[in-house]
Amino acid sequence: MKTSLRTKFIIFITIAIVAFDFIFLLTSVNLYNRDKESYIYENVLNSSRSISQLLGKHFDQIRIISNLDFLSQKELTFPPSMGIENIQIYDFKKKAYIYQLKQLNALEAPQDKELQKYLSHAEDEISIVHGPDGIRLFYWRLLNQDQLLQITSNITSFIQTFKQQGIYSILFFDRKNERILNFSPIQDQTIEKISWVDLKKDGKQEGAQDFSFADQEYIMSFSPTADNLIKVVSLIHRSAAFSASKNLIYQNIALAVIFIGVSIIVILFLAKLITNPLGELTRVASDAGEGKYEQHIKNNSTDEIGILVQAFNKMFADIKKYTEELKDKYRIENEIKLAKGVQEQYIPKVDFHNSHIELAGFYLPASECSGDWWNYRAHKDVTYLFISDVTGHGLPSALLTSAVNSCCAAIDNQIKHTGKFVNPSEILKVINDVIYQSSANLMLTMCVARVDHQRNKIVFSNASHEFPLLIEADGNIKTLLANPGNRLGETSNSEYSDAELDFTKNDLLFMYTDGLVENPNSIGKSWGDRALLRFLKKIQHSPEKSRDELKEAYFKFIEHGEVKDDVTFFFAKLL
């Protein structure tokens, strides 16, 4: 089952968003929990520590008051927050109180055994007493060996101010580890049962830590005052401490779900916006694969998709145009192949020889069709030799050479029918009339030679073609100089003349087109007429071997050069 691009796009983007959101949610929640946990532990610790520090400061204030000279200051007042109920100085020698802040009824002097107790202590002694009417602090200090200072302070009201601690439960323990008071924001019977032994049973140290009691999880911290007179314990339910964190997690999850939902809606919209044109492109491309190029995709957007659609529309228009051009090109190529095949039919494919003459030629077209042409017509007593070069090459030149071949064939048939040989000049004149009347733009050069086997003579006529060369047995080269007439097809009244030259059995006749000497090699240098003459002077072989040696020398010179003009030549020798 094939999955569409839209489905793949939606699935991929949705998975990416969900994965990113999930990872982000886990990371943020984890970081928040760690930060929140540190914050809660720190707050719990600060709660107990701040209360113990305030209590310590209160006790220090009592100690500072004990340094006052009470005997010289009869009227003293103290802030109500200090809760001072009485200040007394007892003189052991007089066995009476010599100073009292407040006159209390039935005051009893310390007994002798209590005196020994006081005297055995250090400079001061402070203790907490928890009674039904409040929590009192008792402070003793020996002023000298005979006088004892005692300060009584009710600190209940001071401790009551710590109820403002909010969500924390506050427990107070004295030096004997007995709980003297506790505050709790909620009615929690479990906290009421917690003792100092329970708090310390797991070897807990001072500071904030986890605490379990009666299947309840707490975060607990305790801080004693400097003199360990009171230990302050702060407790909070773990669930209550992290309730805000849980609420935030739920809110994040809800926001994540909403975000994913909105993202999916946006993805569906974008998928439709993006994949609809792509789907149309796919359909059109599929039709184009079946040869249907008359397609046009409608899209007015100016984004990358719109640019792609415009490119596709242009591509289809270009393909359609190119296809039409290609059809024309194939048609022309087929016609050229046909013309090439026809042309190859009237250029000799193999060497020729009979009892009178031997021929060997070479033909190299510069393109599919050539403007060069050579051929022969052999009779009992004479052999006609033809070579021509159309101005240019390609299909028009091939068609013109075909016309020349047809003319020569028609003349040859007439010769066979009448038994009367015609001169080369007459052949050129006939061909000139035909070309002039049928082609207004194309012309050609041509040379026609008639070899007389009985008289060992050559009669030839030239229409602006390269002069044939006669290579004699001694290496001397003669140029067959006949009056060169106009190119065939140039004028309607062109005249051509004949020339005659001896042609013995040891001589070689060489006829060629200008491509042999004018085509440049890889460095742009042409072979030239002089190099050709120097090579021909060394030839004293049969036409076939001479043709092969000349072809080898020519290709060695050309190397990788481009053949820009057709190359044609042949050798003839009497037997």
Domains of the chain plus CATH, in order, are 84-154 (3.30.450.20), 346-574 (3.60.40.10)
The residue ranking higher by pLDDT, 575 or 327, is 575
Residues whose CB falls within 8 Å of the CB of residue 273, separated by 6 or more in sequence, listed in order: none
Sequence-ordered alpha helix ranges (H) in 196-237: 196-200
pLDDT of 448 over the 90 cut: yes
> What is the C-alpha to C-alpha distance for residues 481 and 513, in angstroms, rounded to an integer?
16
Judged by average pLDDT, the poorest of 5-9, 192-196, 310-314 is 5-9
Planar angle of CA 466, 467, 470, nearest 5 degrees: 135
13-27, 387-401, 529-543: which is most confident: 529-543
| pLDDT at position 357 | 93
pLDDT digits (tens, 9 = 90+) for 306-322: 677 777 777 777 777 77
User: Contact 385/568 with Cβ under 8 angstroms?
Assistant: no
R_g over Cα of the chain: 64
- Per-residue pLDDT, 215: 83
Q: Is 149 exposed, middle or buried (0-12, 13-18, 19+ CB in 10 A)?
A: buried
User: What pLDDT sits at residue 298?
Assistant: 67
Q: How confident is the model at residue 295 (pLDDT cuts 50, 70, 90)?
A: low
Half-sphere exposure (Cβ direction) of 58: Cα atoms closer than 13 Å: 27
| pLDDT: which is higher, 418 or 6 | 418
The pLDDT score that the predictor gives to residue 564 is: 83
The alpha carbon of residue 342 and the mean position of all alpha carbons in its chain are separated, in whole angstroms, by: 56
In sequence order, what are the residues at sequence separation of 6 or more whose Cβ sits closer than 8 angstroms to the Cβ of residue 461?
A: 423, 424, 425, 427, 428, 447, 448, 482, 485, 496, 497, 498, 499
Residue 274 has pLDDT above 60, yes or no: yes
Predicted pLDDT of residue 106: 43
SS3 421: coil
Q: Considering only CA atoms, which of 574, 571, 543 is closest in space to residue 453?
A: 574
Please name which of 532, 536, 510 lies closest in space to residue 362, comparing C-alpha atoms.
510
Facing residues of 150 across strands?
Answer: 88, 140
Quote the pLDDT of residue 428: 94
- The answer to whether the predicted template modeling score (pTM) of the entire model surpasses 0.85 is no
**Phi, psi of 96, rounded to the nearest 5 degrees:** -160, 160
- pLDDT for position 76: 78
Tokens of 465: 């073609």
Share above pLDDT 90 across residues of the chain, in percent, rounded to a whole number: 21
Tokens of 446: 């041509």
* Start-to-end Cα distance in the chain: 82
At 487, give phi and psi (nearest 5°). -65, 150
**Cα(209)–Cα(222) distance, integer angstroms:** 9
Could you tell me if 545 and 510 are in contact, meaning their C-beta atoms sit under 8 angstroms apart? no
pLDDT tens per residue across span 12-61: 777 877 777 778 777 877 777 777 778 888 888 888 888 888 888 888 88
User: Residue 497: pLDDT above 90?
Assistant: yes
pLDDT of residue 122: 41
Q: What local confidence, expressed as pLDDT, does residue 265 receive?
A: 82
pLDDT at 496 over 90: yes
The mean per-residue pLDDT over the stretch 403-411 comes to 89
Q: Is 187 helix (H, G, I), strand (E, B) or coil?
A: coil
Higher pLDDT, 12 or 417: 417
Mean pLDDT of 494-509: 91
What SS3 state is found at 152?
strand
pLDDT > 90? residue 172: no
Higher pLDDT, 165 or 398: 398
* Cα–Cα dist 172/162, whole Å: 11
SS3 124: strand
Q: What is the 3-state secondary structure (H, E, C) of 4-70?
A: CHHHHHHHHHHHHHHHHHHHHHHHHHHHHHHHHHHHHHHHHHHHHHHHHHHHHHHHHHHHHHCCCCC
Higher pLDDT among residues 310 and 522, named by residue: 522
Q: Ranked by mean pLDDT, which of 224-233, 385-394, 400-409, 419-428 comes out on top? A: 419-428
Q: Among all chains, which residue has been given the structure tokens 């904030």?
A: 208
User: Rounded mean pLDDT of the chain?
Assistant: 81
Yes or no: say if 44 and 298 are a contact pair by the CB < 8 Å rule: no
Q: What is the mean pLDDT of residues 170-193?
A: 80
> Does residue 258 have a pLDDT over 50?
yes
Rounded to 5°, the CA angle 122-126-132 comes to: 150
- Please give the pLDDT value at position 238: 83
User: d(Cα 160, Cα 182) in Å, to the nearest integer?
Assistant: 10
E-strand stretches of 322-371? 352-353, 357-364
Token output for 156: 């209940």
